[in-house]
Amino acid sequence: MSHRNISPGVTFKRDLRSGDVRIQRGIAIRLLRIVTLVLLDIIFLSLAWKFAVFYGTSLDSPWTQKTSFLLLIITIEIGVIGVQGLYKAGIHRRNYFGLIKAVSLSEVFLLLIAFLYEPDSYVSRSTFILFWLSSIALLCIGRTIFDVITKLMRQKGAIRYPVFLIAETEAQEDYIKLIEQENCYIVQGIADSTCLDKANREVTLESLRNQGIVEAFVSWKAVKNRLYVCWRFQTAGIILRILPTESIVRYPKTMSWIIGIAKIPCLTIPIPIIVGSSFWVKRSFDLCCCTILLIIILPVYLVIALLIKLDSPGAVFFRQERIGLHSKKFKIWKFRTMVSNAEKMQKDLEAKNEIKDGVLFKMKEDPRVTRVGKFLRRYSLDELPQLFNVVLGQMSLVGPRPLPIRDVEKFQTSHLLRQEVLPGITGLWQVSGRSNIDNFEDAVKLDIVYIENWSVWLDLTILLKTIKVVISKTGAY
């Protein structure tokens, strides 16, 4: 294990997932495409309905006489088409078979609604069939017209996305040809993989933002083993496309995207429309929950404090230096569960460490733990004071656990990624086995999985699992 230099300080940089709250780059063109397609579909669906009513067998029905029913029909049709993802870019909007399925499915919904609303008063069978067939025909014609006009405009240099290529010098020419095959991009700049090195990446991202880059194409070799780069592109509001090599492993939080005439799969790191918003929702949730909990459990704090005082001499709270965001030191708060000289005794107990690789220190029968301390640990009540750390912005409710200096000093470089996000009171590690995990590498893998797949929903899932784990006392000692 290599020893790491731990930086002191109280000024914390932002979490890897936060960034400034900003709108996704290129969203105006994407919204224009969606609005145009929706308007075209509304026009052609209205024409299909008028055509079917005019040429179909006449039937006295409110469906053919009231405008509100036409609005209902169009809303259902557009809704089903949208749910099927047929307003997305590229091959999605040109998925004519998917469009036929979406129209047919919406017709089934309309039949169901008509039956439940007024089964004796819908439209005639001929009107229904004409509307179904003409809707399919006109919508497909509309998409074809849209594609032809879009291609003509792009040939003249309009509605193209400015992109940037980052790849090895010897492969850049081939990648440019591949990108240009898609006919919707302007390669605005090129750089080699050194621009993503730690010393250069912030300057690179700032330059891309200033140039108005919407998407960045990066070769797999340039981004491999650099998960933080993916997050930095995401928080910059720039879509990241990872260009393939001969053998490629699927990256977390990615979705497949097809580029070029050869239909070569390209991996994409998706970003939300409002970049950084999810993290600030998480932070707001942390503050609200902690404030409410601190008010509710104040009597519990007082009872625990009294029990600790009666059980053994020493302070009620235990404050220990831990390593948090960006390897900065901070004081973590816990209820004292050990004798007052526990840290001095640890040196004599290192030989009994039950973590195989020795990075962490864990003992099931630790002689330093007091009687009240065992109870508090069993139900994780000793962690309750960390709510103050959350309020101060040093921790989150969910995240990788902050570790003591002794543990972090034994980190390898690959382990330091877990220090790029706010540490948490609970995390994926804790709900996946807690103290039963006896290998630090396994714990780090769980932390990395959390970072790679993070979402507000994942945080809520972990919080709910934590309650279950605490009540069942799984792996606690």
3-state secondary structure 422-435: CCEEECHHHHCCHH
Prediction pTM value? 0.69
Give residue 127's pLDDT band: very low, low, confident or very high (50, 70, 90): confident
The predicted structure's pLDDT at residue 1: 43
The predicted structure's pLDDT at residue 3: 45
Task: Tell me the domain boundaries of the chain.
Answer: 31-155, 160-275, 277-472
DSSP letters, 264-310, are EEEEEE---SEETHHHHHHHHHHHHHHHHHHHHTHHHHHHHHHHHHH
Written as six digits, the tokens of 25 are 């780059």
CA angle 28, 29, 33 (to 5 degrees): 115
For the segment(s) 160-275, the CATH number from 3.50.50.60, 3.40.50.11060, 3.90.1150.10, 1.10.1270.20 is 3.40.50.11060
Q: How far, in Å, are 85, 180, 243, 263 from residue 260 at the CA level?
A: 21, 8, 11, 5
CA angle 281, 287, 291 (to 5 degrees): 145
Residues 163-171 have a mean pLDDT of: 89
CA distance 386 to 462: 17
175-197: pLDDT as tens digits: 888 888 877 888 899 998 888 88
Mean pLDDT of the chain: 81
The predicted structure's pLDDT at residue 161: 85
DSSP state for residue 154 in the 8-state scheme:
H
- Pairwise pLDDT comparison (122 vs 319), residue with the higher score: 319
Residue showing tokens 């709900």: 431
Residues 126-154 have a mean pLDDT of: 91
405-416: pLDDT as tens digits: 878 887 877 777
CA distance 132 to 99: 12
Written as six digits, the tokens of 349 are 């107990």
